[in-house]
Amino acid sequence: MGSQRPRSRHSPDKQAPGIDASNQAVGAMLTQETDGVERPIAYASRKLQPQEQRYTTIERECLAIKWGVEYFRYYLIGRKFILVTDHAPRKWLKTTQTDNAGITRWALAL
C-alpha cells in the first residue's frame, strides 16, 4: 500500500459542468482536469415533465443549462468555470431577445 501513487485530490478551481438534453431528460456531469486528464466528479439527470417534453430543442437545452448549473451550484458558486454544452443554446441565451418569460428568467438566473 505504501508504494501506491496517491489518487488525485478534488480541486475546486478546475471544475467544468457538462450539460445536455434529449426529448425525455436533461443531464449534467461535473468534471475536473487533473494531470491533463478530464475526470468525472459527479453525474445528475432528471426526466422531463410532460410540458417540458413539448419544449423546442433550444428551450430544452437552455433548461438543461439552467438546471445543471443550479444542481451543481455548491461546487460552482463564487468560482469561474467552463460550461461544456452545445454552443448554440448558450449563445442563443446570451444574444436573443425573447418574449418567453421562462427563458428570460433562466438567462437572468445564470
pLDDT digits (tens, 9 = 90+) for 55-72: 888 888 888 888 999 999
**Is 9 in a helix, a strand, or coil?**
coil
- Identify whether 77 is part of a domain: yes
- Identify whether 3 is part of a domain: no
- Residues in CB range of 42: below 8 A, 6 or more apart: 29, 30, 72, 75
Residue 38, domain extent? 15-109
Count of the separate structural domains present in the chain: 1
| Dist CA 86 CA 44 (whole Å) | 18
Do 59 and 13 meet the contact criterion of CB atoms below 8 Å apart?
Answer: no
Q: Is the pLDDT of residue 80 over 50?
A: yes
Supply the pTM of this predicted model. 0.67
- Identify whether 39 is part of a domain: yes
CATH number, domain with residue 57? 3.10.20.370
Q: Is the pLDDT of residue 110 over 90?
A: no
Written as one string, the DSSP assignment of 24-75 is SEEEEEEEEEETTEEEEEEEEEEEPPHHHHTS-HHHHHHHHHHHHHHHTHHH
| Dist CA 15 CA 33 (whole Å) | 7
